[in-house]
């Protein structure tokens, strides 16, 4: 079983790895996003916290929880070192190397590595239900925890912070949120959730996203002059 100190050590490794690889990256999107490492470390912590909720709700064993905790911390470690399409596989290789070097048991290393690789699967070609059947239980929980960070107030916040950086104003936001990639991504991803606990959290969060849009639409006029008289 993984101890709290080991969680802290893995977290420290990931945080440093993100920081150093972002600083030395020659990818254009990384260079134009000055706090990319902070952002992805924060996302990593959110995913770990989401995973804890699923583990508790599903009554996971300590062994399952240990695999998911390590996988959650390591799932995006390669974010700045490779193309996004292969970040699951590359992260799983970095995870495997780290865990072997630190003497974790072989079965544990393999389960973590597998879950991390699975979260990077290209979703879409296979229907959600069938896709879930191809994943390990730990891989499903990791993917759910990852997706939960893209469905609710956190997703709205990240989208608005990004739009603010682009100089958008409030009346452009509801259109961008409702029709843009933040909503499309949330709407697509929420089907890739399989556990009862994950489903409950996903519906709560996606409902909040919709409620935010509805309130914005209620409050912010997006036409030249509203009808009067």
**Which is closer to a copy of itself, CB of 134 or CB of 214?**
214
Q: State the DSSP code for 169.
A: -
Nearest to 57 by CA among 182, 219, 202, 154: 202
Count residues near a copy of itself (CB under 8 A). Answer: 53
- Per CB under 8 A, does 120 bind a copy of itself? no
> Looking at 46, 64, 110, 121, which residue binds a copy of itself (CB under 8 A)?
46
Question: How far is residue 66's CA from residue 1's CA, in Å, rounded to a whole number?
Answer: 6
> Looking at 64, 160, 180, 188, which residue binds a copy of itself (CB under 8 A)?
160
Question: How far is residue 182's CA from residue 196's CA, in Å, rounded to a whole number?
Answer: 24
Question: How far is residue 79's CA from residue 70's CA, in Å, rounded to a whole number?
Answer: 16
**Which is closer to a copy of itself, CB of 85 or CB of 165?**
165
Could you tell me where the DSSP H helices lie in the chain?
4-23, 28-31, 36-57, 62-74, 87-101, 106-119, 128-134, 137-148, 153-165, 170-179, 181-189, 196-219
CB of 126 to a copy of itself, least distance (A): 28
CB of 149 to a copy of itself, least distance (A): 7
- Per CB under 8 A, does 161 bind a copy of itself? yes
**Which is closer to a copy of itself, CB of 36 or CB of 117?**
36
CB of 105 to a copy of itself, least distance (A): 18
- Which among 19-27, 115-123, 126-134, 211-219 is the span making contact with a copy of itself, rule CB under 8 A? 211-219
> Looking at 92, 113, 154, 195, which residue binds a copy of itself (CB under 8 A)?
154
Positions that interact with a copy of itself (CB under 8 A): 2-4, 7-8, 11, 34-35, 38-39, 42, 45-46, 48-50, 52, 65, 69, 148-149, 152-154, 157-158, 160-165, 167-171, 173, 205, 208, 212, 215-216, 218-221, 223-226, 228-229
């Amino acid at each position: 079983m993984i101890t709290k100190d080991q969680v802290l050590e893995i977290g420290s490794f990931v945080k440093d790895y993100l920081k150093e690889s972002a600083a030395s990256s020659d990818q254009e999107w990384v260079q134009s996003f000055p706090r990319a490492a902070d952002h992805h470390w924060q996302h990593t912590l959110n995913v770990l916290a989401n995973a804890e909720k699923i583990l508790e709700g599903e009554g996971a064993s300590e062994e399952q929880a240990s695999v998911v905790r390590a996988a959650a911390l390591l799932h995006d470690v390669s974010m700045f070192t490779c193309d996004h399409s292969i970040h699951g596989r590359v992260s799983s290789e970095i995870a495997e190397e780290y865990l072997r070097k630190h003497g974790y048991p072989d079965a544990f290393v393999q389960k973590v590595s597998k879950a991390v690789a699975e979260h990077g699967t290209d979703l879409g070609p296979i229907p959600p239900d069938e896709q879930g059947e191809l994943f390990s239980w730990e891989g499903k929980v990791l993917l759910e925890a990852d997706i939960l960070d893209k469905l609710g107030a956190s997703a709205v916040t990240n989208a608005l912070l990004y739009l603010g950086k682009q100089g958008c104003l409030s009346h452009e936001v509801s259109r961008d949120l409702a029709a843009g990639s933040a909503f499309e991504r949330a709407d697509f991803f929420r089907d890739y959730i399989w556990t009862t606990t994950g489903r409950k959290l996903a519906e709560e969060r996606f409902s909040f996203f919709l409620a935010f849009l509805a309130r914005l639409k209620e409050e912010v006029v997006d036409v030249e002059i509203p009808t009067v008289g």
